[in-house]
């Protein structure tokens, strides 16, 4: 085991990744017996990791009944979206007002990476390319990193994580074929570089809303199905 790293931390990171990438589905129960085999560790470590995820809102704990991945719901998606718009735009305004040249450079660099990464997996169509998902997260993180408040950045980041759960499903629906995601990112980047606060906020708001709308318009049924999936 690497120095200064406990097993509990590793398992925590593994679990978190498996939830965020959809290997563990929303609503799915998480019995200790199964997890113990999957991650080859003891109950104590698992409880510790799961407790942390509960506090993050990614896992739900029902006393004496065990843990489960937080289910998705239409109502939560609406709440999450409006909160993200509120807080990410707040963060964005701070970033535009306080970010330095190094920050601008990181925005440009991460946009370039994202722009050159294909969005869909080549081998398995209708599936998000993992590299693209990473680059996408990195671009948005870079934009918000210009905000000088550590706490505000952390909050924004945790909200973005929560919405990863939902983003995973939007591509399956195929209702986004007409959408120009790359263009939305470009608009955000340009407004940021021009230090145009209102323009940037508008671009980010649109970007966040579109994903949610695509989900809500086309597949409330499927949404419900995934959350009922016990």
User: Where on the chain is the footprint of a second copy (CB under 8 A)?
Assistant: 4-6, 8-9, 44, 47-48, 51-52, 54-56, 63-64, 79-80, 82-83, 86-87, 90, 149-152, 155, 159
Quick one: 9 or 176, whose CB is closer to a second copy? Answer: 9
- Token couple for 24: 């563990």
29 binds, among DNA, a second copy, none (CB under 5 to 8 A by kind): DNA
155 binds, among DNA, a second copy, none (CB under 5 to 8 A by kind): a second copy
179 binds, among DNA, a second copy, none (CB under 5 to 8 A by kind): none
Quick one: 30 or 143, whose CB is closer to DNA? Answer: 30
Measured distance CA(62)–CA(229) in Å, rounded: 17
101 binds, among DNA, a second copy, none (CB under 5 to 8 A by kind): none
Measured distance CA(38)–CA(31) in Å, rounded: 11
Given the rule CB under 7 A, which residues bind DNA? 1, 3-4, 6-8, 29-33, 41-45, 47-48, 61, 63-67
- Token couple for 125: 């169509």
Quick one: 75 or 100, whose CB is closer to a second copy? Answer: 75
Quick one: 28 or 73, whose CB is closer to DNA? Answer: 28
Minimum Å distance from CB 42 to DNA?
3
Nearest to 74 by CA among 215, 229, 228: 215
83 binds, among DNA, a second copy, none (CB under 5 to 8 A by kind): a second copy
């Amino acid at each position: 085991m690497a120095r200064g790293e406990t097993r509990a931390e590793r398992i925590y990171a593994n679990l978190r990744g498996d939830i965020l990438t959809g290997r563990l589905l929303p609503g799915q129960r998480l019995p200790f017996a199964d997890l113990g085999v999957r991650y080859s560790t003891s109950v104590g470590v698992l409880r510790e990791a799961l407790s942390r995820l509960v506090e993050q809102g990614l896992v739900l704990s029902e006393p004496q009944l065990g843990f489960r991945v937080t289910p998705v719901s239409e109502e939560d998606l609406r709440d999450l979206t409006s909160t993200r718009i509120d807080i990410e735009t707040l963060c964005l305004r701070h970033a535009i007002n306080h970010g330095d040249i190094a920050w601008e450079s990181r925005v440009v660099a991460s946009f370039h990476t994202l722009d050159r990464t294909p969005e869909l997996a080549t081998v398995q169509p209708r599936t998000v390319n993992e590299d693209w998902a990473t680059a996408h997260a990195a671009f948005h993180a870079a934009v918000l990193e210009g905000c000088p408040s550590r706490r505000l950045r952390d909050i924004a980041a945790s909200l973005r994580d929560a919405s990863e759960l939902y983003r995973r499903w939007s591509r399956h629906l195929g209702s986004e074929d007409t959408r120009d995601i790359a263009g939305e990112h470009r608009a955000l980047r340009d407004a940021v570089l021009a230090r145009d606060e209102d323009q940037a906020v508008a671009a980010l708001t649109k970007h966040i809303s579109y994903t949610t709308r695509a989900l809500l318009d086309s597949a409330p049924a499927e949404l419900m199905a995934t959350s009922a999936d016990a």
